[in-house]
């Protein structure tokens, strides 16, 4: 870090002639958004202010996602469109960060075909930003640091997107190697942060007025396995729950194979942990789950759900579903529909399978026509719409504690927020309430939210 301080001071001297503006755009998951906040933190320390208009920027950094090829294609399209900005402003510095840069073929493509990009920076190399920037300012045509997945130093610089909701990564990487997923290849194996660092970060956030803490990891349930001590994820949750203050604890993502009874018991026993679990199913078919290398069966998944519902029949569950995994049969897809009807999720996040070069699933010759996948997706969404509409009726007449997070996009004079159960609520109010907890009585339900009145 001392070396970084020296580099930052060198960059500051070069840039001292005028105020500079930075444009940082993050794509993809919440972990990527958190990385983007750290990138902004370093830029702020160097002396940059920020702009939402790339045309006004002196430096542009695109923090990329590699989960789907469509996401990569989108970024390449944006890079291409920004070539004109570089031509109009030769001093403009352009960098690429995030998961895309960890793929060797992508990094090589950027270097060869996109001369407007001055540097690339891997997910584990955020702290190398001052050095990469210094190289650019000294005239280097192209610099790169994709990292070695071993540096997530505790860096205090961070420009957060919200003043009341904060994401806190507790671990990085993934050991699961689902056959459709590129994440273990671009973010490396699991590495857990020290519990004392996480607890201190949360304590500082709460003392600064943050009301929602989202703990992040590719599989938070695996937290601590690499630390060599007794700090499991449930134990970490219990420690965070002890922190003084009025706030709510959320986390994602949870892998079903590691969703233990201890974790469920911890959720129910800790008053600050949200009574909601996002438990990605991906498919309702055991044969598809096996081809995905998910390492659990529908029966095991159902046991976890049954244990949750035995504690609280109304506990909120959400999930992820992949439609059209290579060679998914109609009967396998019907099994997914059956479990959606049986478990009755409050919400699902569904995706048509996207081939990712470098994954095991990308080697499978897929015989399912795209129109069949689209039809299946429409059917799944229609069934879930019916389930959600019926599910949300259970809240009518009840009280909900809501963290207000914005104004309604649908009705003037209304605000929105999320409940403990991660249910969207809409009710009359004004924007002065944003960032605070309110209690409402639910008066109506829809297929995407509930509505009510402040008590």
Q: CATH number for the domain including 306?
A: 3.30.750.200
User: Residue 66's pLDDT is what?
Assistant: 86
Same domain for 69 and 137? yes
Same domain as 27, residue 125? yes
Task: Judge whether 156 lies within some domain.
Answer: no
pLDDT at 149 over 70: no
Can you tell me the distance from the alpha carbon of 143 to that of 130, in angstroms, rounded to the nearest whole number?
Answer: 12
Tokens of 438: 């309110």
pLDDT digits (tens, 9 = 90+) for 54-93: 999 999 999 999 888 788 888 999 999 999 999 999 999 9
pLDDT band for position 154 (50/70/90)? low
Q: Say which residues have a Cβ less than 8 Å from residue 104's Cβ, sequence separation at least 6.
A: none
Interior angle at CA 281, CA 268 and CA 373, nearest 5:
150
Tally the domains of the chain. Answer: 4
Domain that holds residue 166: 162-274
Q: Which of 394, 409, 434 is the last residue of a domain?
A: 394
pLDDT tens for each residue of 391-428: 999 999 999 999 999 999 989 999 999 999 999 999 99
Judge if 166 and 280 occupy the same domain: no
Q: Can you tell me the distance from the alpha carbon of 420 to that of 401, in angstroms, rounded to the nearest whole number? A: 7
Q: Is the domain of 384 the same as that of 290?
A: yes
Assess whether 116 and 12 both reside in one domain: yes
Evaluate whether residue 157 is within a structural domain. no
Give counts: helices (H), strands (E), the chain: 14, 19
Task: With a cut of 90, say whether residue 125 has pLDDT above it.
Answer: no
Q: How far is Cα 225 from Cα 62, in angstroms, rounded to an integer?
A: 32
Alpha-helical (H) ranges within 154-232 are 183-187, 195-207
What does the pLDDT read at residue 6? 85
Q: In this structure, what CATH number is given to the domain that contains residue 241?
A: 3.30.750.210
Residue 252 has what pLDDT? 94
What's the predicted TM-score (pTM) here?
Answer: 0.93
pLDDT (tens digit per residue) in 224-281:
999 988 899 999 999 999 999 999 999 999 999 999 999 999 999 999 999 999 999 9
48 and 96 share one domain: yes
**Strand (E) positions, 222-344?**
248-252, 276-278, 316-323
Decide if 153 is inside a domain.
no
Q: What are 56's strand-pairing partners?
A: none
Which contiguous run of DSSP H or E holds residue 212? Answer: strand 212-216
Residue of 96, 91, 95, 85 whose CA lies nearest to 15: 91
Q: In this structure, is residue 152 part of a structural domain?
A: no
Tokens in use for 451?
Answer: 């509505």
Render pLDDT for 192-221 as a digit per residue (tens, 0 to 9).
Answer: 999 999 999 999 999 999 999 999 999 999
CATH of the domain at 86: 3.40.50.12160
pLDDT at 151 exceeding the cut of 50 = no
Q: CB-based burial of residue 203 (10 Å sphere; 0-12 exposed, 13-18 middle, 19+ buried)?
A: middle
């Amino acid at each position: 870090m001392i070396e970084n301080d020296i580099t930052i001071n060198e960059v500051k001297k070069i840039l001292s002639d005028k105020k500079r503006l930075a444009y940082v755009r993050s794509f993809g998951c919440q972990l990527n958004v958190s990385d983007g906040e750290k990138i902004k933190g370093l830029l702020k320390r160097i002396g940059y202010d920020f702009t939402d208009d790339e045309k006004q920027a002196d430096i542009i950094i695109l923090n990329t996602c590699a989960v789907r090829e469509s996401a990569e294609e989108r970024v390449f399209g944006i890079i291409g469109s920004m070539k004109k900005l570089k031509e109009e402003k030769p001093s403009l510095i352009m960098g690429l960060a995030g998961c895309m840069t960890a793929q060797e073929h992508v990094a090589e493509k950027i270097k060869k075909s996109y001369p407007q990009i001055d540097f690339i920076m891997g997910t584990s190399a955020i702290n190398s930003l001052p050095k990469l920037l210094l190289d650019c300012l000294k005239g280097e045509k192209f610099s790169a640091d994709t990292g070695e997945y071993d540096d997530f130093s505790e860096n205090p610089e961070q420009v957060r997107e919200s003043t009341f909701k904060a994401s806190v990564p507790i671990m990085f990487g993934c050991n699961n190697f689902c056959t459709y997923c590129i994440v273990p290849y671009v973010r490396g194996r699991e590495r857990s942060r020290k519990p004392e660092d996480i607890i201190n970060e949360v304590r500082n956030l709460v003392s600064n007025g943050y009301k929602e803490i989202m703990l992040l990891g590719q599989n938070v349930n695996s937290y601590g396995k690499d630390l060599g001590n007794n700090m499991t994820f449930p134990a970490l949750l219990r420690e965070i729950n002890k922190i003084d203050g009025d706030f709510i604890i959320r986390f994602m993502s949870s892998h079903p194979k590691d969703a233990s009874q201890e974790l469920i018991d911890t959720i129910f026993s800790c008053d600050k942990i949200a009574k909601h679990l996002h438990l990605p199913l991906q498919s309702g078919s055991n044969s598809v789950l096996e081809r995905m290398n998910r390492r659990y069966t529908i029966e095991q998944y159902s046991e976890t759900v049954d244990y949750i519902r035995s504690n609280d029949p109304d506990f909120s569950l959400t999930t992820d579903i992949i439609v059209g995994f290579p060679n998914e049969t109609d009967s396998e897809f019907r099994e997914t529909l059956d479990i959606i009807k049986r478990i009755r999720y409050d919400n699902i996040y569904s995706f048509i399978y996207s081939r990712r070069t470098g994954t095991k699933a990308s080697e499978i010759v897929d015989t399912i026509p795209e129109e069949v996948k689209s039809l299946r997706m429409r059917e799944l969404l229609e069934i879930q719409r019916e389930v959600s509409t019926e599910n949300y009726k259970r809240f009518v007449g009840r009280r909900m504690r809501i963290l207000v997070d914005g104004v309604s996009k649908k009705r003037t004079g209304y605000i929105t927020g999320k409940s403990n159960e991660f249910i969207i609520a809409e009710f009359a109010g004004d924007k002065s309430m944003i960032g605070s907890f309110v209690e409402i009585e639910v008066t109506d339900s829809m297929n995407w939210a509930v509505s009510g009145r402040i008590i």
